[in-house]
Structure 1
Amino acid sequence: MSTEASAAILTTRNPATGEVVGEHPITDEAAVHETVARARQAASWWAGQDPRQRRSALLRWKRELVNGSMELAAVVRAETGKPTGGALFEIMLAVEHLDWAARRAARVLRRRKVSSGVLAMNHLGLLEYVPLGVVGVIGPWNYPVYTPLGSISYALAAGNAVVFKPSEYTPGVARWLAEAWSRACPEPVLQVVIGDGATGAALTRSEVDKIAFTGSAATARKVMAACAERLTPLVIEGGGKDALIVAADADIEAAAGAAVFGALGNAGQTCAGVERVYAVTEVYDRFLDAVKEKTAAIRSGADDAAAYGPMTMPGQVEVVRRHVTEALADGAVAAVGGPDSIRPPFVDPIVLTGVPEESAAMREETFGPVLVVNKVRDVDEAVQRANESRYGLAAAIFTRDKQHGLALARRLRTGATSVNSVLGFAAIPALPFGGVGDSGFGRIHGADGLREFSRAKAVTWQRHRAALDIMRFDPAPRAVATALKLFRLRHGRGR
């Protein structure tokens, strides 16, 4: 996808063919602030709705997405180049999360009693979650429906209004989603602002109550610095360099199939996709042979029958080229493909082996259809190498031993781990998603995602006067003595 911004118009092109697929007015800084002001009014209305009314509106929006899924998939395909099947799968995943958030929000965020403890026995303690107000969502281009809706759906379900700034490569998808919302709900609870980084910066510096950002760690740092000006809280998903570990007892065919899918799906443009594999010595050769066999049948192209499409961002092709050529210069071997596989805007499957750990292909996010398969002595070495990355988004483990797999998952420094699959967590709405390190912080999806876009509020209600009334300037000496005695009995016995 290429974009051109002139005369306040953003022109988007199909990344595979170069044809113009859309022209969109750019939202300038003043218009961004006006949009946020409208969202503020809509947020007041939306938060005042009964939870059942919000659920009803969200489910109407869901039906718009389902009934218009082929039309939406065509927009996704035109702007990203991905096959229709991939676009539809992305929409299906997004709808599952939207449905879960809509149906669970009232239960997760409801007011509940908490233990009052000894010192406040005369009080009733209540915990409730209230909407933040207006949430600004800055979304990516690689999954322009699924990823931003991971924030949008949960923010809306939590009672907030949303202003969505999509990638400059996928504005048409965002406009489609907003138009679908307007058919489901007449109030501007979901609005879209369009443009490049300047529009995103304006949204970040506006009077939103939280920012949800998905993108590179470098851009995330800039967003975070801008948010610091107003102490605007944010949640960040900043990419990954995800590892897959193949144990000696793994199902090799299943592991190879998962690695190939995780590495090449969506042309490798998946934040939580597989970029590194650590296979133990006993099964390394068999695993590599299986990977080579499975990649032989995979083809990139512009036609809908291709396994995956072009690189959406032209500049990413050069990142892939640099990682591959530097790895080979450092002594790596191309088991599948190589530099000749890079034919912009397409990159055919590339599998590298023996890549030094200090190589860019092992340290930086490649974000292309490149898989590195390295040999390790055992799973302990694999875990160590996996954890040496500054990223920590997701990982995968293949082993027939369930308890061993779960123990390894606990040791990995990631926000999510799949055992005997890749990306399994993405299809489970109840599970939170997010990373550590350069992969960001905060969580979307699940109950944690609903609370991420809410504000915890503590409420107490004094039911009767305290038996020991010492929270005053003139407590009775006897009350103080009794309280001190009880304090020592309760906390001074070492157990």
Structure 2
Amino acid sequence: MTTATEQAAFDSLNPATGAVVGTHPRHDAEAVQAAVRRAGEAARWWAGLGFDARKRRLLDYKAVLVANLGRIAALVRKETGKPIGDATLETVLTITHLDWAARNARKVLGPRRVSPGLLGANLAATLQYLPLGVVGVIGPWNYPVFTPMGSISYALAAGNAVVFKPSELTPGVGVLLAELFRRCVPEREVFQVVTGLGETGAALAGDPGVGKIAFTGSTATAKRVMAACAANLTPMVAECGGKDALIVDADADVAAAADAALWGAMSNAGQTCVGVERVYVVERVYDAFMRELTERARAVRAGEDYGPITMPAQTEVIRRHVGDALAEGATAVVGGTESVRPPYVDPVVLTDVPEDSSAVREETFGPTITVRKVASAEEAMEKTNAVSYGLGGTIFSGDARRATELARTMLSGMTAINSVISFAGVPSLPFGGVGDSGFGRIHGADGLREFARPKSIARQRFPLPGMTITSFSRTPADMERLVKLITFLHGRRKR
């Protein structure tokens, strides 16, 4: 809901043309507080519906999203500049995640009996996961449907109400998502949107009525959001930046690896947190890989195959990273600093970039890629794990067992094998990072539990005779029997 006490408004712009797409209110702290208060009331009603009723309504919402898929994708295209095919793809993936969350919430979060152990043989132990109440979601602009809905869908399925603050670059998409939800749930304001700039997000993060914040954005901004959350000990899940690597082993399908590397690096103009920014290629296939990559990269066109740089200031970051790499001895085999022509950036492929260069160690978030020759996949993994980020990554190898072993050693939350970014499309797999890439998980069972609190219940069915141990009436004989039992159960035994 966007009616509140705002005194000002702001425009969202098409980054490709500069045309105004829409005008939205700058919700102040009072407006945010009012939205959270309404959400608190709605949360109690929504939680009280139970899993089955929520499932029906969320599946209705899914159907509404499908019916409005073209409208959503068109608005994403206007606010981000990305091709309509890419906007459609992220909406389709969003729909599959919503479906999974709705259908699996009861199985993951519903009450179930757990074993009380032999010492608790007289107890009935149950575990369930209860809603947090109000979840605040602060979303990004690069995937304005898929990324925030990865939190919103799972939070709603878990029984929470949501207050969503979309990026100031893509506010219209957030408003539309909430508008379509109200068609399925008109009774209460279960899913609201507040729009504005940084101060609106800060007000949401600092509101004591919020049970958890789900944030997606830069590592630096995540730290500021955490500081706002700390005032109320509000927990947070943070999905931050990445510097993902793709490793090409000696027995890999080189053509497939090059195709995946190019898509991972250039799609969405490189503005993908789990996009490919670094490639390490075993020397035996390096030359073949470079031939495949450069031939493909030269055929990709900014403005046709991918859109503009959505955030204008990012073009200078891209220019600096490319310029620094070249000044430090790198070679531009495709493009160069001249590729930066705002609002577009043409494909850039750099080789022999020093590992301490900003182009290797900092998130570029543009259609650039660095490629380095290595002696082995093990050396590639060592270099991959040397940066502070740990979001996703990719392994290309002809040996499934070896690829899996390498994937397990990659310091990242997710790894794809012989594909790129494929883990994001699997609803049952959790999504999130380590290190500077953040903490917590969305998607999958872990994503449902992220927006719930575990509730443990132990019910005594009958007293244990001769084992009165949690009472002041216990005797030395009771304790002696307890020690004998624990020695029998857990004392050292012959193997």
Q: Same fold (TM over 0.5)?
A: yes
Deviation track 1:58-95 (CA, whole Å, cap 9, x = no partner) reads 11111111101111111101100001110000000000
Mapped partners of 1:47, 1:179: distance in 2? 21
Mapped partners of 2:493, 2:158: distance in 1? 43
Mapped partners of 1:412, 1:81: distance in 2? 33
Residue aligning to 1:442 = 440
Between Structure 1 and Structure 2, how many residues are aligned? 486
Deviation track 1:398-454 (CA, whole Å, cap 9, x = no partner) reads 001000000000100000000000101011000000000000000000000000000
1:76-475 to 2 correspondences below 5 Å? 76-186=76-186, 187-206=188-207, 207-301=209-303, 306-467=304-465, 468-475=467-474
- How much does 1:7 deviate? 5.7
One-letter amino acid matched to 1:251 = D
One-letter amino acid matched to 2:36 = V
- How much does 1:171 deviate? 0.4
Q: 1:416 aligns to what SS in structure 2?
A: coil
- How much does 1:476 deviate? 2.8
Deviation track 1:253-280 (CA, whole Å, cap 9, x = no partner) reads 0000000000001000000000000001
Residue aligning to 2:488 = 489
Q: 2:280 aligns to what SS in structure 1?
A: strand
One-letter amino acid matched to 2:29 = E
One-letter amino acid matched to 1:429 = P
- How much does 1:322 deviate? 0.2
One-letter amino acid matched to 2:482 = A
One-letter amino acid matched to 1:469 = T
Q: 2:470 aligns to what SS in structure 1?
A: coil
Q: 1:135 aligns to what SS in structure 2?
A: strand
- How much does 1:492 deviate? 2.1
Mapped partners of 1:386, 1:490: distance in 2? 46
One-letter amino acid matched to 1:328 = L
One-letter amino acid matched to 1:365 = E
One-letter amino acid matched to 1:61 = Y
- How much does 1:462 deviate? 0.6
One-letter amino acid matched to 1:192 = V
Mapped partners of 2:442, 2:369: distance in 1? 27
Mapped partners of 1:307, 1:299: distance in 2? 5
1:68-79 to 2 correspondences below 5 Å? 68-79=68-79
Mapped partners of 1:358, 1:477: distance in 2? 67
The TM-score normalised by the length of structure 2 is 0.97
- How much does 1:8 deviate? 0.7
Q: 2:118 aligns to what SS in structure 1?
A: coil
- How much does 1:490 deviate? 1.9
Residue aligning to 2:38 = 38
One-letter amino acid matched to 1:199 = T
Identity, in percent, stands at: 58
- How much does 1:477 deviate? 2.8
Are 1:50 and 2:57 an aligned pair? no
Mapped partners of 2:38, 2:111: distance in 1? 29
Q: Which runs of 5+ in 1 are unaligned?
A: 1-5
Greater shift after overlay, 114-123 or 392-401?
114-123
In structure 2, do the counterparts of structure 1 residues 387 and 67 end up closer, same or farther at CA, with 3 Å as the change threshold? same
Deviation track 1:366-391 (CA, whole Å, cap 9, x = no partner) reads 00000111111101110000001100
Deviation track 1:455-493 (CA, whole Å, cap 9, x = no partner) reads 001001111012212111121332221111112222222
Residue aligning to 1:3 = none
Mapped partners of 1:32, 1:352: distance in 2? 45
Q: 1:33 aligns to what SS in structure 2?
A: helix
Mapped partners of 1:493, 1:32: distance in 2? 59
Mapped partners of 1:464, 1:347: distance in 2? 72
One-letter amino acid matched to 2:246 = L
Mapped partners of 2:128, 2:97: distance in 1? 23
Mapped partners of 2:50, 2:210: distance in 1? 23
Mapped partners of 1:382, 1:150: distance in 2? 31
One-letter amino acid matched to 2:20 = V
How well do the aligned residues superpose, as a CA RMSD in angstroms?
1.0
The TM-score normalised by the length of structure 1 is 0.97
Q: 2:415 aligns to what SS in structure 1?
A: strand
- How much does 1:494 deviate? 5.0
Are 1:478 and 2:477 an aligned pair? yes
One-letter amino acid matched to 1:404 = R
- How much does 1:212 deviate? 0.2
Moved over 6 A (4+): none
Mapped partners of 2:322, 2:20: distance in 1? 31
One-letter amino acid matched to 2:236 = L
Mapped partners of 2:60, 2:418: distance in 1? 36
One-letter amino acid matched to 1:193 = V
Deviation track 1:93-140 (CA, whole Å, cap 9, x = no partner) reads 000000000111011111111111122111011111000000000000
